[in-house]
Each structure stands twice: as C-alpha cells, then as structure tokens.
Amino acid sequence: MYWDSFPVLLAHELRNPLSGICAHIEVLKELFDSHDPRLESLLSIEREIERINEIIQKILEFSRTGNITKKTIDFKEFLTEWWDTQIRKYKKQNINFELKIKGQIGKVQIDRRLIERVFDNIIDNSVYAIGNEKGEIKVSVYREKEYINIQFKDTGKGIPKENLKRIFDPFFTTSAKGMGLGLAISKRIIEAHNGKINVISNINKGTTFLVKLTAEKESRTNDSCSDCG
C-alpha cells in the first residue's frame, strides 16, 4: 500500500502548489532588472523547486516500477539506439566510451523505457565516479545460455567494501547531489523483469555492474562467451 498508491497521491498533491509557486516566480522575475540581487534569490528558489520536482519524479518512478508494459524487442537494436543517445549526453566528458556486442543476442521482453532508465542510472553513476579524471566506461553484451548479460565496467573511484551491501538501498548515497534512488529503482526494475543485477568493485580501480535479463525462448541459442569476464 505505502509504495503503491501513497507516493503517487502525495506527488500529485505537491505538484499543484509547486506549479503555483513557479507561476508567481515568473511574475516576480519581471519586476527586477537583470543586475538586481533580489533576482538571484528568486532564481535560487526556482532551482530549489526544480530539485523538489526531481525528487518527486524519482519517488514516483520508484513506486511505479510495478507497472510495467513489456514488449518483445530485438535487444541489439534497442541497445544500439540507447547507446547512441547516451554517448551524446556525455560528449563533453573526458571519458572513453566503448560498446561491444558479442555474437547473437536475440530478442527479449522488456519495458523499453524502464530498462533504458536502469542503463542510464548505471552510466550516470560511472560518470560521477570517474569525475574530472580521464576514464573509461565499457559496456559488453553477450549471451550465456538463456541469459543476456550486460556488463558495465568503469575505471572510477570504486565502492568501499562497507558500502557495497548498501548501494541498492533506497536513499543510500555518497554523492552531494544524488538522492540514492538510482540503484534502488534499477534493482526494482530488473527484478520486475525477473532479471538480476550484481556488482563487484575495487577501490581506485573501478566498478563493474552485471545485469542479467532472460532472452525470449525462441531466440535462445547455446552461444556463450568465453572471454567476457
């Protein structure tokens, strides 16, 4: 009950007054010229409201992950499309991105939007973990019997051992900007697809996430990858 309907109601109730506040800010902004220090205060209020909206959005996502609409898709096609948009997003970063799709992948039943969300969350975290350093993010996709494995490997700062157990907990975060919901949402989404998500990490070396999805029966092959570890 709590995660299913209460947050949705709460989000709707909060959104109305927030958009009211935004409308009033727009009116007030017109009253000051661009050098007026009071304008900066208004812009701060606007940014904070934006932040509240992001929080509401994430809580909604977290509570709605039970509502999935799966469709059969060609995984390679899906992944390539997602990759092209993802790379564009991080173009300015000092990061070398690499995507390897090994062998036949086949079809899978997924909620495209939600799985994209998971992959975005994992990449966002890797980009954050690399920071301003030079780094690499490598994504490898390969079949292992009925599983489609998607491995995300970064050269970021790594996750301390004591945090590894907690990274999938809602609101666990070590980031100043984060809410600690990205991986909690991702885990719920993957589990709603009967998949798995695991992590291994080495401090100062990097982190690897492995997502496992089950391929559609008719597209299953006996392909496996010997050098994907």
Ligand X SMILES: Nc1ncnc2c1ncn2[C@@H]1O[C@H](COP(=O)(O)OP(=O)(O)OP(=O)(O)O)[C@@H](O)[C@H]1O
Which CB, 106 or 201, lies closer to Mg ion?
201
> Which of the ranges 109-117, 146-154, 181-189, 213-221 carries the binding residues for Mg ion, by CB under 5 A?
181-189
CB under 5 to 8 A by kind: which of ligand X, Mg ion, none does 129 bind?
ligand X
According to the binding rule CB under 5 A, does residue 182 interact with Mg ion?
A: yes
How far apart are alpha carbons 94 and 127 in whole angstroms? 9
How far apart are alpha carbons 4 and 26 in whole angstroms? 34
Q: Report the interface residues with ligand X, using CB under 6 A.
A: 121, 125-126, 129, 154, 156-159, 163, 167, 172-175, 178-184, 207
Which residues between 109 and 128 bind Mg ion (CB under 5 A)? Answer: 125
CB of 182 to Mg ion, least distance (A): 3
Which CB, 156 or 182, lies closer to Mg ion?
182
182 to each of 39, 160, 195, 208, 229, how far by Cα in Å?
A: 33, 18, 17, 16, 25
176 alpha-carbon distance from chain centroid:
17
Burial class (CB in 10 A: 0-12, 13-18, 19+), 98: exposed
Which CB, 28 or 200, lies closer to ligand X?
200
